[in-house]
Structure 1
């Protein structure tokens, strides 16, 4: 019987036939016992695997699982008594984990350092790496046992490290024996465990050079650069770049093998293979660009140019690849020249890379043979092999002779034409042209001026804003455009809708769209990398991040040499966030200003942190992490206790500051410091600040966090929540919040909440309910106290009675409201009462009284910080002015009211004002403008009510005055 725990766990017979194990718990139990090789108590196992069950039920479940496992194993190796259970080695039971450990243990007693294997170590190490067919219990987990999953994680990490150590020792041994192919195979397998491990990349580069494969060594460096840039946006370590420079300059001579490198291989200039293919996702958001590219290529029988610019990761290389694939499908010949940073000194390096593969084909050899002799001699300056059969030809004239460069360029142009000619236009593509050498740029400028007659399309890409060469690149395109043969396309980031379309084409959950869009910011390459890392069964609630394990390994290399001071400053900065200032990081780190500055200087020097100029003359500089994933890693690696301490210090520093935004930031840090009471108070303050700025969504979020953290003033916060939801038109949620506020309120507080509830029912056209809550608000007030609130309640109740066609009652309430407002002397109450009296006068046809009251209301409301009364007065005054035919003045008031309403965030009343504007303009004869406002009104009205559902209450659409 064979129990296999590397890779997905499985049990099989010695003949390889699978043996079914009925439950996942039985598999987990077998793995746990096999890994331990020591007895475990039944109590421990029952608690580990059934943490949610009580003692007797857990032990019963363990007995049943043990019986299942014993049946599957046929009793082999499994021993159990009343107290303990163990899985012992047995002649009839073979476990790959035991064999792996035994192989490694065989190397431990040879009397030498572990990293220096002897001949006796080699065979056991080979056995060990052969046994490691995948990570321990790959893809296996128990949903109801977090402790088992934690054990599994650390066990797998430990075994992975042992596997990597075995591979490293085999690489060392095979290298010492100059068996380069075997060493390279082990090194590649080691790199596959973690592609972000730069020492593994450097090892492969050295091995390729030792094996006489310098081009492969250069390709490995470029692969390292590509992976680091794609995953983390960081350059390689200095040691990696130095090794690359040595390879380029033919200075590679490892100290550990001088005899092998007495005649080191000379690397050819800039040879590279294409990078591994990206995740092939559908092209989205690029339809127009792709049609333009195809059209330009199809018309390039007599020459053409396509240029693509954009930021890193915008998808330029992908479109270039799509063009080549499309062209080849039509029988065209294509060549790709990729430019690399640091290789600007290799003249025509990209062209060498592009044409070498073509010259080795039968078509290429025939194309060269058909060239005139003088052209073959010129081409041989770059490609000496083209003259292998013409050694008796006269010498080629020097390039500095008259017309030398022109002859050379013409020969290259004719060679390109011969190589790329076919049934469809060929493609000569230059990727990342901002890194091209000057000689290549001169050749391109020459070709662009002579595009007419060339049987191929030049396709160029470059990163915008990253090179001083960009003006020259634009000049190239403009030269082709003047002849009608060129097009320049600037690729922008994808929109949210594009990301949604992309996910619809694959197996991914569409609920991930917002988080994927936020994570990648619409950059196509990052989006592809994210999707490549996502399992198809990802739960929609799960956080979306790049794989953290590989990131941890890479940045561990970058961070391990930091001194204590720099490390402390970096941990403090990680707690603050991506952008921080000296004052905050000093307060968090708890160090002196001089010590903090020294730490920051080290971090800037190591490219872990970047310094940014302050705002304006004398502004204090700010600092930011070079990559967000670095901040995430440093934060994750900071011990929980220290993390909480740092959050507290940051929160205290921010709470002492004055100004908008500090309260919310301080609240965040106090929350993560575990100081929930302080955090709740500050979140409430942040909500008040946001509310004053009409930042309704932010205010709502702050209030809800304050409530969740136990803020004691639930009545005020629930009432504020209800007000904000009312502005948003989310009336169902607003009523719920207000009812929660009313449940614990009494007296004036209850009356205020009842006023709010009545207002929501008025917006819904539910006038009877509005009247009920208005009366309840009045009942909550004792005697004649709080006259200003009483005046507002009476005014609201009067409006409800008016809508219920009880005009006598309405007028009586309005007069009572006016008296209360006068007694109170409260401007807010007076503005609302005068607005009501104007509205009632207009309904009676008393235009003069209506205008007088509404103008008084507007004059009073204009002095108030809350714009609600001013919006109502302007809207109703505009309606009264329109009744008299003064459309211009009416329109001015409506436009002003609309702007105030939009800023305040009251979507329902904004919709009503748009609708009133449409009616006004229609009456004035401007139907075009009327229709524009009507469309806006319909859009806004349709958004009122429960999110994601059309309003079912038609009264919502009838709001015109209030």
Structure 2
């Protein structure tokens, strides 16, 4: 008997593993490839898997990587996912199925392993391409067989649905297109059959460069001679009844309505998601109208390339509804969001913090009117279709939504599975109860029947039609109504054909095209202009492009509304606009895009954002003009520190510069690519940035280009903790820049050299390198100067000039804030947080880490320094006893760091996590957390792991054959020395302090006193506190009661003065003071005991997860001792 399936492996689209309870784990690309190999090829030799997945690694490293991945999969699944030893296969409990080609609701159209790219593993890439080809062939064969069977059975509507899917899946198949033409013709739809022929002609020309064959042309001629199809003697142009343009009632959303009412009553925000067509917009509109809220404001396709597009639209809606009295000062602050007559903006007006404050003032002005108009509860603001929103608007609006005390309920709506990253991050930072999540599920059969009954369409039996419509349309209201509208416009307005006819209208690519073809010519042209113009569409633009007065558009506009295609100022649904756009011949679309771009630029409209005009020029086949405008857009985004927007614009600019083939195109493309490498380092993984840096170097031609490419690669290599290679690149870049007379490039190369020297523990040299150029910074841009100053402050920190470093960080932060550069400000805050930790100022360090994360997120970062800042903050949360918050993020942090290309930091994150488990009373779990570190990792990283292991074994019995704490410390010291030492005082002093633990008491005390003095002199105050703690322990254990009590008092005073101690377990400190002072200073001992018990029971215990509470109280030795002492002292 086969074991039950505990896991389901999905390889189509986004690869994932799904547990029996429905919990899903998205698979990293190599994990996905590993499981695909085993699922499709069956049991496979371990050596072959290693060779495919890690072709550039030696056998040992590859085997270790494979072992770690298998272990992580097993840890998530709580059971084996992969089984076997030399030969690996899928575990018996893993069920695998590619999909069912006959099922219209399956994910079969998706690619095997989605869009994952395996270009860095050539043999694996070949295997995957073959597997993808085999799956596509299987899918297409199944669709063809299904279509033939249905046609033979006389089920023409269902056969047409399948044939349309096949033609869409295999657009170069003339046979597939011919089948679609024939089925349309057999169903009496001549216009659709001819439209299918036109699509066939376009697709064959596009994919094969050929014309249809004789058989296809003869079929088209037969259809053409058949004449226009008539129904009851009338041509098929019938306006849609009002019920099909907007159903009279909102059906099946009672539960969601109640949740919105609950949110309004409680004043909490809402996240609303649903699939396309699920009725999100209708629900928001009806609810806002009932509550007398501001009507929902939606993002539109194309907004993502237009900074502040949504925010400007939202502000316009606020002003139209509530007419807030804007003072001249407030209007100046809002300048980027208000209509204006030129692209120029006052200096500093693009700073997001100023815009946020100004919008908050507007909301405050609107609130009295809004509160008076609202039916009950708090007034509300709804934002729709946020999957299309630009990141600049999201940054502003989400910050406003983060402040419920301003007195508004926010409803944020987006498509399921398309939640914008800023919204996810915003939700993750909200406290429990602040945000209500609502998912719009598909309607059930009873809901569909009720919806049909509300339409009251002649001849339509709601009960008979409900089940077929549910099956064909997936329970999404928009598609249900749209399918009925398509049938109506095909002449089936009495619905006498019965529910089987609805299959013909269900999501066919030709359905909207047929509806368009049946419209008058002027209405069809208006729809095509609207589809091409996108969010730039309005009456004035349409009148200009169609060369008619605006009043002449009344008839065509009305015809589009009657056909259910238009509502309000444009398409009734973005999917309709996409369908119309797809139906426009490519040559015509290019002309229209060029006309839109000209109209936008010639002053006929309010000045557009550069990225949007660029997109129209590019789509219009004008890459040179597009490139110039993309450059402008990138510069605008850089001025706002909108890194993700800038990256998109830089990449588009490089693409268009190369396509334009202008004399300076390659140079301008190179500069855009160089900038993209630096942006990728903060937005993507270091691996991605390195790949782009390598490509940049490969295409560098001139000495200046080689210098720039080497500088970029040097920065990436330093972030990847490869400082030797980074230093070599930086020095080579400096030499090339000097010879070429490029002062700016030389300064940047010196900056990278300084970073590499710091990574190599040569901070004094780093400071010297940079100080020689302090007077030349005017040659850098604002952004470059800010990062240069931040790196210089970091060098001062490494060189034990820490107080001076904090002052330099503060200078950088002030300058970055003044110009609104979130990325540079975030980096300075993050590095300052580390410096403050070494200065033993943990409270300030925590706040600095929070500011770093906030700034980095506002700059659009998702990886890189953001993860490192999170690690710093998490370490402080752990030290403060916030174990729940720490574990919620820290357990996944090592893997996230590895996936982001920062494996060195991942080892450190494992060390931190192990110490947390030790404090929670689970030393065995702490040991298991520490995965093996390969010998090719930096010596300091391996030594740090041994120090962590020594810390885990102190005070515990060491198993036979396992190195004890003293041996581990000696081995770590020897490893560091064999690598040339550290050159950095922190590591040297930390090693010496650890070695003192194993000296005899008199010698150790003398050594610790000397170390403590040097630590204070070098501004290593955190280490000095650790030295004082160890001195107190040794004095107490040696019986020097008076000296021990004095040291305990000093330690207590410093703790009270400076706050929590970074890196130390607070109860260990309080126990040490209590134990040392008890024989000679009862008051100090009692105070330490009181503080220790308070920390355990009030600061930490409420934040200890339930699973760890028993071990935390009963197995942590310091907690046990303090609680026992408290009992003994009453």
Q: TM-score, normalised by structure 2?
A: 0.37
* Greater fraction of residues in helix: 2
